[in-house]
Amino acid sequence: MKKPANRFSTRLIAWQKEHGRHDLPWQQTRDVYRIWLSEIMLQQTQVSTATPYYLRFLERFPDIATLAAAAQDEVLEYWAGLGYYARARNLHRCAQAIVAGHAGAFPASAAQMAELPGIGRSTAAAIAAFAFGQRGAILDGNVKRVLARVFGIEGFPGKLAVERELWALAESLLPERMAPGEIEIYTQGIMDLGATLCTRSRPDCGKCPMRGLCVAEREGRQGELPTAKPAKAVPERTVKVSVFLDGDRVLLQRRPSSGIWGGLLALPEGEPERLAIALGLIPQTSIPLPELRHTFTHFRLTLSPLLCRVSAPAACNEPGMVWLPLTRINDAALPTPIRKILAALAASTPTSPARAAPDT
């Protein structure tokens, strides 16, 4: 009788060959740059959302050297809308580190990859498998869910002890003997199983290759496993932002490179009257705009915008301040909630129509 680990890998590989995804834009290639880009974009982002961004990004930055030589502001513009902007900043830093420290060639081992900005243990193993056929375990969110359910792993996966248990399990499940190309099939298979069948809600157990082997399916515990994160109060933060509008252009401020919305353009924060005086703006009218709530991983933010129509100099000499036409909001590196505020404003401003950006 086969061990559970052997049954798991055998079933997974057979299922992936017949039912897994094989036509994604970053598949059927050994180009490590394309594979790396896709793995970073797919962190915290679904395939359907990431795909158009991937294709557009690749058209502008076709290789590591081009990405490394680009300005961070432009990289962020091509990332705008995907969220979790630290990924884009780390992607840029990683490209520069590869050019500076590896002569522009991506390291060929998962251990070396894991030392680069934005590439952790799991992502490094995935890149090494798809680009170089190297044997290694991955443990992203989808994989944690699959393993917790199939093998009945208790406890919140974010806890260090539980994560260590899952890593040990993931390593033990790797087939001892693999035919050429099977590590890629296995790795893609465990990703696809979590993304398409063993989903967070309403898993399709009837089509799952682990039916009969899965503890959660056998015991009817799909809703209990993996164990949810312990609930705690989510901090609330309210911020006043000023929408200074001069004709059809709005004043934006470049955020610091680290922290919330690092490197992106956002609305200036603070009391409008004080800001207007400091910036040499002449207020004409001001009206409050609807508040907008946005949830981050660790807190909820309420933006309280005030529209201030002003007359202003042609240029703003304050560091980090730029005037942006409302017609360009879909091309600028803006956080999603700021883009929503400005899109609504543009739609109500007859002199500067703008199509609404998709909510990503």
pLDDT tens, position by position, 20-34: 999 999 999 999 999
Q: What is the mean pLDDT of the chain?
A: 91
pLDDT score of 355 more than 70:
no
- pLDDT for the residue 360: 34
Mean pLDDT to the nearest integer, 50-78: 96
Last residue of a domain, one of 219, 246, 264: 219
- pLDDT for the residue 105: 94
The amino acid that residue 280 corresponds to is G
Question: What is the per-residue pLDDT across 256-269, written as a single tens digit (0 to 9) for each?
Answer: 888 888 889 999 99
- pLDDT for the residue 51: 96
262, part of any domain: yes
Mean pLDDT to the nearest integer, 323-335: 90
- Cα of 328 vs its chain's centroid, Å: 23
Phi, psi at residue 233, to the nearest 5°?
-65, 135
355, part of any domain: no
Domain identity same for 108 and 176? yes
359, part of any domain: no
Domain identity same for 57 and 97? yes
Q: Which CATH number do you get for residue 290?
A: 3.90.79.10
Domain identity same for 248 and 198? no
89, part of any domain: yes
- pLDDT for the residue 54: 97
Domain identity same for 122 and 203? yes
Indicate if 184 belongs to the active site: no
Domain identity same for 200 and 310? no
54, part of any domain: yes
Of 211-225, 282-296, 321-335, highest mean pLDDT = 211-225
- Cα of 293 vs its chain's centroid, Å: 20
Pick the more confident residue, 214 or 317.
214
Last residue of a domain, one of 219, 246, 267: 219
353, part of any domain: no
Mean pLDDT to the nearest integer, 170-194: 92
Domain identity same for 187 and 154? yes
Of 3-12, 204-213, 320-329, highest mean pLDDT = 204-213
- Count of domains observed in the chain: 2
Taking the CA of residue 143 as centre, how many other CA atoms within 13 Å lie in the half-sphere pointing to its CB?
A: 25
Please state, in angstroms and rounded to a whole number, the distance separating the CA atoms of residues 271 and 264: 21
276 is in which domain, residue-wise? 236-347
Domain identity same for 148 and 30? yes
Q: Which CATH number do you get for residue 72?
A: 1.10.340.30
Domain identity same for 205 and 262? no
- pLDDT for the residue 96: 97
- pLDDT for the residue 14: 96
Which listed residue (18, 39, 219, 271) is catalytic? 39
Domain identity same for 62 and 155? yes
Domain identity same for 62 and 177? yes
pLDDT score of 202 more than 60:
yes
357, part of any domain: no
Question: What is the per-residue pLDDT across 75-131, written as a single tens digit (0 to 9) for each?
Answer: 999 998 888 899 999 999 999 999 999 999 999 999 999 999 999 999 999 999 999
225, part of any domain: no
Last residue of a domain, one of 163, 185, 219: 219
Domain identity same for 121 and 196? yes
Domain identity same for 174 and 33? yes
Percent of the chain with pLDDT over 70: 94
